[in-house]
Structure 1
């Protein structure tokens, strides 16, 4: 097992009725900017719950943060933060709203030339404006980590950011909110969290037995609850396990002491930036090709995954590894998620070259757990995903 240091300062308030406790977590003299997305929270009752809980707090609002938090939109919120002298941010939404709030947390205290530098120059945020979150869509794990991903529509770019200053001070996780989530977004959440685990697990062994078992247990839980989550009727027990699995998939715990990959995400981000495809679905597009191209390096872990998660017991190491890849694709399809780029756009020809060139221009010589996925291999992987 590799050396590591681990600290997660986010306080989690989990379960029914926790929204009413928001005011206990925010300084009484704070000036709060309430941030949300397209307005679904005003239709499902969450907005009213939050406003009631904040009745004694000075609150202004900013809505309209899109599904892929957009830089230009966030700059408008940043202007409000500075003009109104906001001191606390509250994200009410899914990963996109929370990610956008993290950007604003960083940008509000950033002393550089332009906030875009935080993203384009990968500047870590050591201290940001304090913020909390009310999770309405489990998927990204942003409610308990310090990372975010922001899109710039003007240039069709999508960059990650982060740093120890970007952990939410608190996050409220009430599984009841899942009642109103469309099944397409539930499927996305299952696929997104599943891939988050794979990115931290499907590398090579460093004999971190507990981390492997943690990762496998999250995968097994997501597989077990997926059919129930996609049914029309709401199941609170399944919803609770779904919400907590999504959080545990990316709160840093299973990443400690082990190598991680993230190449699937880096390629997937480009597909979202170029075509506007749902983030989770871009991951499903890339996963099979990525693992097949890197089969030699990932074979041992893929075979272990096939045995422990999918109960594949027959075959050679390579055969088990390939079975694990096949089972993963089948799982995505069972969620109603297509796994080829051509399923989403007719304009896919040339995409592999565009993404490979972007990586070259950014100086990314090699990504993945061993840095061996060169721009040339990226081109091959994306092309195989057509």
Structure 2
């Protein structure tokens, strides 16, 4: 498993040692309107504005294999030093998939369906979540849809190399998004608790996440509390760490069809 580096202060990003002021190009995977509305766009300009950046965006909220192939084709046109993903779980999942599948040969479907082993070769990835829910920055699997069927692609290389964890991008998130994201993290933590694949470490992460969410979700949703949203970002990451070990269970699998056929967020 990749030794992930977690950063919680903007100034710490300069410690990555990847030559962020150097000549290497950045492949940025991002959302659309949320990129500007959350302040993510201004952040990227401030931190990485001196680098040459190519952006990939406009893909489906539920990552489709056709979107992934477009992203890989765009990525392969240049030589990128690093991929930066800034957005919600779908954005981070898409970036994780591009970082690994851009280095695989043959049809992607064969890897997704488990017919071919995924190699560990990848482009380094910095994940910056703008919502507090999916915990995608902390897991070694990603979601991908093929013909309305949802697949969870898993391999050690999918875990982002670096994570910048902050609540600064969720300040402008409305009650509905905050609630959906928070319940996602809460549900994942609960599933981790009862998962037969869990261990003492995953249980510790999950119980801490549940406690934090229980104390802060209402304040984050109804009061737009800065402190509560900061705690929710931490809880989401903890829930992600928990399911990274235990994986999710039947309720999570059941949600796939609701998302595919009825556009109900899970």
TM-score range, shorter chain: 0.7 to 0.9
Structure 2 distance, partners of 1:41, 1:52, is 14
Corresponding residue for residue 216 of structure 2 = 225
Instruction: Give 3-state SS (helix, strand or coil) of 1:178's partner.
Output: coil
Closer/same/farther in 2, CA of residues 41 and 211 from structure 1, 3 Å limit: closer
Q: In the alignment, which of 38, 50, 59 is matched to residue 56 of structure 1?
A: 50
Instruction: Please list every run of 5 or more consecutive structure 1 residues that lacks an aligned counterpart in the other structure.
Output: 1-6, 281-386
Corresponding residue for residue 117 of structure 1 = 110
CA contact (8 A) 2:142 2:153 kept: yes
Report the CA distance between 1:67 and its aligned residue.
1.8
TM-score, normalisation: structure 1: 0.62
Query: Does residue 132 in structure 1 map to residue 122 in structure 2?
Result: no
Instruction: Give 3-state SS (helix, strand or coil) of 1:90's partner.
Output: strand
Corresponding residue for residue 102 of structure 1 = 96
Q: In the alignment, which of 174, 181, 190 is matched to residue 182 of structure 1?
A: 174
Instruction: Please list every run of 5 or more consecutive structure 2 residues that lacks an aligned counterpart in the other structure.
Output: none
Closer/same/farther in 2, CA of residues 82 and 197 from structure 1, 3 Å limit: same
Closer/same/farther in 2, CA of residues 169 and 203 from structure 1, 3 Å limit: closer
Query: Does residue 31 in structure 1 map to residue 21 in structure 2?
Result: no
Closer/same/farther in 2, CA of residues 228 and 121 from structure 1, 3 Å limit: same
Corresponding residue for residue 157 of structure 2 = 165
Query: Does residue 242 in structure 1 map to residue 232 in structure 2?
Result: yes
Corresponding residue for residue 73 of structure 1 = 67
Report the CA distance between 1:214 and its aligned residue.
4.4
Q: Considering only CA atoms, is the larger Rg found in Structure 1 or Structure 2?
A: 1
1:280-323 Cα offsets, whole Å, 9 max, x none, are 2xxxxxxxxxxxxxxxxxxxxxxxxxxxxxxxxxxxxxxxxxxx
Report the CA distance between 1:210 and its aligned residue.
6.7
Report the CA distance between 1:73 and its aligned residue.
1.8
Q: Tell me: higher relative CO, structure 1 or 2? Use CA pairs within 8 A at least 6 residues apart.
A: 2
1:343-358 maps to which residues of 2 (within 5 A)? none
Closer/same/farther in 2, CA of residues 22 and 34 from structure 1, 3 Å limit: farther
Report the CA distance between 1:52 and its aligned residue.
2.0
Report the CA distance between 1:180 and its aligned residue.
1.1
Report the CA distance between 1:99 and its aligned residue.
0.2
Instruction: Write 1 or 2 for the structure with the bigger share of strand.
Output: 2
Closer/same/farther in 2, CA of residues 214 and 96 from structure 1, 3 Å limit: closer
1:295-306 maps to which residues of 2 (within 5 A)? none
Structure 1 distance, partners of 2:88, 2:74, is 22
1:158-214 Cα offsets, whole Å, 9 max, x none, are 1111211122121111212111112111111111111111222124699x6675454
Corresponding residue for residue 86 of structure 1 = 80
Structure 2 distance, partners of 1:198, 1:69, is 25
Corresponding residue for residue 272 of structure 1 = 259
Structure 2 distance, partners of 1:131, 1:213, is 27
1:326-337 maps to which residues of 2 (within 5 A)? none
Number of equivalent positions: 262
Instruction: Give 3-state SS (helix, strand or coil) of 1:34's partner.
Output: strand
